[in-house]
Structure 1
Amino acid sequence: MQTHTATTPFGRRPMTLGLISSQVTAKKIDQGATVSKWRVFRDIREAKEVLGATDRALAILNALLTFHRDEELSGEGNLIVFPSNEQLIRRANGMSPATLRRHLANLVTSGLVIRRDSPNGKRFARKGQGGAIEQAYGFDLAPILARAAEFRELAEAVAAERKAFRVVKERLTICRRDVTKMIDAGINENVPGNWRAFQRRYEAIIARLPRTAPRQALEALADELEDLWADVHQTLETFVKSEDSNANESHSERHIQNSNPDFNPTGEIKSGLRKKNEASGSAEHADNVRSLPRRDLPLGMVLSACPDIVHYAEGGQIRTWRDLGAAADRARPSMGISPSAWQEAAEVMSPQHAAIVLAAILQRAEHIRSRGGYLRDLVERARQQKFSVWPMITALLNARMSELEKAAASGAAGGSPAGQGAEPRGDAGSLEISSALRDSMKKKGW
């Protein structure tokens, strides 16, 4: 006679559809199915939040598994364990009976175990001949074996979600750091851009960031921050590229150097060069282009040739090309050069070369009647690749060197301190060029 297996809980505990579902699942076990009970337990522990199991419930499940003597759960073996509450409390580190009952109910509700209650609610096993268990009442571990593959998939999904959450938090942290520091760099370096608008966009995004948020909300905020990062980075990158192209333009553009510099010490334009036929002089232009230096003019050389531009510098000092450009922009109105002429010169020559040209014009301003017209003429020649700033600056340096040599000679003849070894000074300050550059200029006839 086959013994009836109890399917309803003892006492006042009600029967639910969830319990029936767990029992149906437990019947879908293949006879040859086996699984390591501790590996499945690890998967259940990883997916406990998805399953709805509590930490204490898992401690009790761990204790229940210790009452199953085999290391593996098998479809051919007995999967019902029947420890008393006292034994469970001892192996669950001494939790109270009320806590034990509450979390045992959690294991049943989560579908991890099934109650197999006896008629009187006690847990025990009835053995037959030979000591084999014929009937057992307690907790059935069959759902763990039946749902082992499901628990593994849930554990992998939880691990993937945890990794995605960690990655989006890293994205968010890096974007916040990059955006704030790039905005500070743009403001501190005076880079043209709407930095206040960038700052307001950043503050609006961060204001919507809660203390605890799901991954989807963090990904949406991270996407907005990355869009802001792209806009800020593009603003800085565009400015840096424009600065680099302006600084290196003289390496790629074609210049021309004439044996008679087109800006002579008196500041007048050679009429012969203006009326020269381009077709007949093309070969000469190419030779002069190859003979020019392939590097930018040193800033110190420009200031030595054009010391008057320093009076227009903020603080009376020029340390960088940007300082020179700012000083040239301040000097432009007093020289009668229109904004349109100045803008055209910057576009055709590059801002750096336009500032050098304006400093040279200022240095010989008293010899030039129409400075604006002269600048436009040089711009037109630069557009036709017939102009270089090198001859202009070297001509001014030669003129200043000649003046200083004459001053030194007259001082030596008159017994002045200059004749006793003092450094001769011009009317606009000392000419600060190296001896190597001086020798090179003399050797090339500049």
Structure 2
Amino acid sequence: MQTHITTTPFGRRSMTLGQIASQATAKAMPKEAIANKWQVFQHVREARELVGATDRALAILNALLSFHRETELSAEGELIVWPSNEQLMARANGISPATLRRHLSVLVECGLIIRRDSPNGKRFARRSRTGEIEQAYGFDLSPLVARAEELRDLAEVVQAEKKAFRVARERLTLLRRDIVKMIDAGLEEGVPGNWGRVLQTYQGVISRLPRTASRQLIEDICAELYELHAEIRDVLESFTKTQNPNANESHSARHIQNSNPDSIFESETGSRKEKEASGNAAETDNVRSLPKRDLPLSIVLDACPNLRETAQSGEIRHWRDFVAAAELVRTMLGISPSAWQDAREVMGEVQAAIALAAIYQRADQINSAGGYLRSLTDRAREGKFSTWPMIMALLRAKLDEGKQRQTTENATSEAGPRLEVSDSLLKSLRKRNPRP
């Protein structure tokens, strides 16, 4: 059996204290130490970030383990493998020689293998007359046996962290879903409350959540959302307690419709005959003559720039971002989920979002956004509505406003500076030039 001795790397490679520590750890392991090589490799793969290994380094380690014939790595057995670079590259999916050398160094620095270089740098094994290995030069796998328990503990730490991260994300998803649906329920049932403020608070918390967030940040945001969740739930529960438990749904609907006329809610049924809804919808009578292609996103954003302000990331690049912003606008306008769902089913998700963006752009001119949207939905159901006229009208209004502003600025610049004359000077001029 080979005697493990401390060796320094061959060639220009220098010796480090970390390599000495790895050799000392391997030398101090008990003789009865044993480990399953593939189980240890699995632990290394799970804890690779804590260990400091790379993906390519793991591929090379997997190749090195494949050159060890036994599945069990034993301190009393032969733990040195001596494959050539060509053999390693072949089993490591054909990586280049430079990549092989670089990631072999990573494995050494991580303390997963030890170089046992021969005097001339070659890898080989010297056998006795009976065929037993007397001395081998190559890569020593003993650190994997010596650190088997440590690597298992690191893998368990990583697994626990992943589980905690997964639980935090699940909690975040549930809180977000509950809050949005409870806000919708409050709007749908006419529960008195400043739901616009609640929605702004929710969006303010969510806007701090990046695409890739740490577990700690997710847990902090979950704590804030939980407080908001409890506040909304208390409001809804308090409202249900004030209702007659024997009342049916129609009675409840009448009560909600007639309560708190100054709240953010609306009576959508009575508002379908609003003048602005019927008047503006008249522009869509000749739908058949309109273009059949879809509206480009850039044109819609030019016509409805106010929607950009509600985007979570402050930017709308795709239709999915546009629809998400429309969802937020729908709640801000006090449009019930049923009206929005009806519009999406009739018009389609994107077309309904475009119509909602146009309504939001003209929110100061529309008394009932929900009634207006239901009116447009009814016309779309009859095939008499298209979003093209709405967007073109907004673009024309924007263009006319720009031309008017430019005309005013030109007139001001051509008029030149005005001469300010004092009252005393005017009196003096009148005395010198009396009127005939």
Question: Into which bin does the TM-score normalised by the smaller protein fall?
Answer: 0.5 to 0.7
Question: Relative to structure 1, is the Cα distance of residues 321 and 121 closer, same or farther in structure 2, using a 3 angstrom cutoff?
Answer: closer
Task: Provide the secondary structure at the position in 2 that maps to 1:213.
Answer: coil
| Structure-2 change in CA distance of 1:199 and 1:82 (3 Å) | same
Q: Using the alignment, how far apart are the partners of 1:136 and 1:328 within structure 2?
A: 90
Q: Indicate if the aligned counterparts of 1:6 and 1:118 stay in contact, CA closer than 8 A.
A: no
CA offsets 1:266-323 (integer angstroms, 9 cap, x no match) = xxxxxxxxxxxxxxxxxxxxxxxxxxxxxx9x99xxxxxxxxxxxxxxxxxxx62664
Structure 1 unmatched ranges of 5 or more: 249-295, 300-318, 331-446
Q: Distance in 2 between matches of 1:105 and 1:329?
A: 74
Q: Aligned pair in 2 of structure 1 residues 14, 236: CA closer, same or farther (>3 Å)? A: same
Task: After TM superposition, give the deviation of residue 143 of structure 1 in Å.
Answer: 0.3
**Aligned partner of 2:146: which letter?**
A
The SS at the match of 2:11 is coil
Structure 2 Cα separation of the partners of residues 95 and 329 of structure 1? 73
Aligned to 2:137: 137
**Which runs of structure 2 are paired with 1:314-353 in the superposition (5 Å)?**
320=251, 323=254
Distance 2:134 2:203 in 1: 71
* 1:44 alignment partner in structure 2: 44
Deviation at residue 141 of structure 1 after TM alignment: 0.3
Give 1:269-288 correspondences, 5 Å limit: none
Q: 1:30-429 maps to which residues of 2 (within 5 A)?
A: 30-243=30-243, 246-247=244-245, 320=251, 323=254
**Paired amino acid for 2:251:** T
Summarize the Cα distance change of 1:184–1:204 in structure 2 as closer, same or farther, 3 Å threshold: same
Report the alpha carbon displacement of residue 225 of structure 1 after superposing the two structures with TM. 0.9
**Do the aligned partners of residues 20 and 320 (structure 1) sit closer, same or farther apart at CA in structure 2, a change above 3 Å counting?**
same
TM-aligned CA distance change 1:107 to 1:320, over 3 Å: same
Does the Cα contact within 8 Å between 1:63 and 1:88 map onto a contact in 2?
Answer: yes
- Deviations 1:227-286 (CA, angstroms, capped at 9, x unpaired): 11111111101111221xx345xxxxxxxxxxxxxxxxxxxxxxxxxxxxxxxxxxxxxx
Give a deviation string over 1:151-177, Cα, whole Å, max 9, x none: 111111111211111111111111111
Question: Deviation string for 1:387-445 (max 9, x for gaps)?
Answer: xxxxxxxxxxxxxxxxxxxxxxxxxxxxxxxxxxxxxxxxxxxxxxxxxxxxxxxxxxx
State the SS of the aligned residue for 2:139.
strand
Contact 1:82–1:136 under 8 Å retained in 2: yes
- Measured in 2, the distance between the counterparts of 1:329 and 1:230 equals 24
In structure 1, the residue matched to 2:22 is 22
Q: Does the Cα contact within 8 Å between 2:25 and 2:146 map onto a contact in 1? A: yes
The alpha-carbon distance between structure 1 residues 199 and 118, as it changes in their structure 2 partners (threshold 3 A), is same
Q: Secondary structure at the match of 1:53?
A: coil
Q: Deviations over 1:183-213 (max 9, x none)?
A: 1221232212232221121011011001111
Show CA shifts across 1:14-72 (max 9, x none): 11111111111111211111111111111111111211111111111111111111111
Amino acid across the alignment from 1:5: I
Report 1:427-446 matches (<5 A).
none
Question: Where in structure 2 are there 5+ consecutive unaligned residues?
Answer: 262-436
Between the aligned partners of 1:324 and 1:166, the Cα distance in structure 2 is: 43
* Residues 190 and 257, structure 2, Cα contact 8 Å, conserved in 1: no
- Give the 3 Å change call, closer, same or farther, for CA 72–3 of structure 1 in structure 2: closer
Calculate the TM-score normalised by the size of structure 1.
0.55
User: Following superposition, which runs of at least 4 residues in structure 1 exceed 6 angstroms of deviation?
Assistant: 324-330
Q: TM-score, normalised by structure 2?
A: 0.56
Contact 2:125 2:134 in 1 (8 A): yes
8 Å Cα contact 2:125/2:133 also seen in 1: yes
> Residues 80 and 140 of structure 1 are in contact (CA less than 8 Å); yes or no, is this contact kept in structure 2?
yes
| Structure 1 residues 325 and 211, CA gap change in structure 2 (3 angstroms) | closer
Contact 1:29/1:146 (CA < 8 Å) preserved in 2? yes
Taking the aligned partners of 2:194 and 2:259, their CA distance within structure 1 comes to 26
Structure 1 residues 189 and 214 mapped into 2: Cα distance closer, same or farther (>3 Å)? same
Report which of the two structures shows the higher radius of gyration computed on alpha carbons. Answer: 1
**Cα RMSD after superposing both structures:** 2.5
Q: From the superposition, tell whether residues 324 and 136 of structure 1 become closer, same or farther in structure 2 (CA, over 3 Å).
A: closer
What is the rounded CA distance, in whole Å, between the counterparts of 1:196 and 1:124 in structure 2? 76
Partner of 1:396: none
Give, in whole Å, the separation in 2 of the partners of 1:237 and 1:324: 17
Paired residues of 2:80 and 2:136 also in contact (CA < 8 A): yes
The change in CA–CA distance for 1:247 and 1:145 in structure 2 (over 3 A counts) is closer
Deviation for aligned residue 1:129: 3.2
Aligned-pair identity (%): 60
The 8 Å contact of residues 6 and 117 in structure 1, kept in 2 or not, is answered as no
- 1:129 is paired with a residue whose SS is coil
